[in-house]
Amino acid sequence: MSAAPDVVKLKICMAGEAMVGKTSLIRRFVLDEYDDRYTATLGTKITKKRMAMVHPEDGRALDVDLILWDIMGTPTLRDLLKEAYYHGAQAILGVADLTRRDTLGELDSWSRSIREVTGEIPTYVVLNKADLTGEREIDEAAIGDHCHARGWPWSYTSARTGEGVERAFQGIVGLVLARV
């Protein structure tokens, strides 16, 4: 009889401007559903999901209880309530919208605000809306330059189709597990 996997709890803050797809990514990841009607997040919404992972260093089986904090994409609220929202976070999943150039640069402000509370924690960037290829405003070179300069790994997702969503959440969890 094999031993039960260790359980690790991780608080991940979703960061990014309004309408980049933070809530839709969580919904796709947790429920495998997508709803194209936009509903603004008011304040914060907390969602939990357990995922099976293998520790990147020693290969042992882990059950990871993800606690995903979906924070309203408003800078005023971000700064006003940051102590309450970010306390105890172990990673940042920064979400940019490939169809809106400014959303990538805004991740710097989000990261800075979160790190004022948490200290240095890993950041993983998701470039969402990858299915909207004809509407892209951010090219691969700009993404690479931005993320490499900050040491942030990144990947592409589409909350609508589900493309890359599981990989993105595994990516941020892997970054955190490599540190513990």
Contact of 9 with 65, CB cutoff 8 Å: yes
- Whole-number pLDDT of residue 38: 63
pTM, entire model: 0.91
DSSP summary character for residue 87? T
Mean pLDDT, consecutive 10-residue segments, the chain of 180 residues? 80 95 95 78 82 90 95 72 89 98 96 95 98 96 97 98 97 92
Q: Which phi-psi region, left, alpha or beta, contains residue 177 (left: φ > 0; alpha: ψ -120 to 50)? A: alpha
Going 46 to 52 to 55 to 56, the CA torsion angle's sign is negative
Nearest 10 degrees: Cα torsion 40, 87, 95, 123? 180
Q: Hey, which residues does 7 pair with through a beta bridge?
A: 63
- Whole-number pLDDT of residue 57: 85
Strand, coil or helix: what is 166?
helix
Question: In the numeric block, which tokens belong to residue 105?
Answer: 């640069």
Closest CA to 66 of 177, 178, 149, 147: 177
- Whole-number pLDDT of residue 168: 97
- Whole-number pLDDT of residue 35: 81
DSSP summary character for residue 45? E
Q: C-alpha angle with apex 132: 131 to 134, nearest 5 degrees? A: 130
Question: In the numeric block, which tokens belong to residue 83?
Answer: 């102590």
Helices (H) and strands (E) in the chain, counts: 7, 6
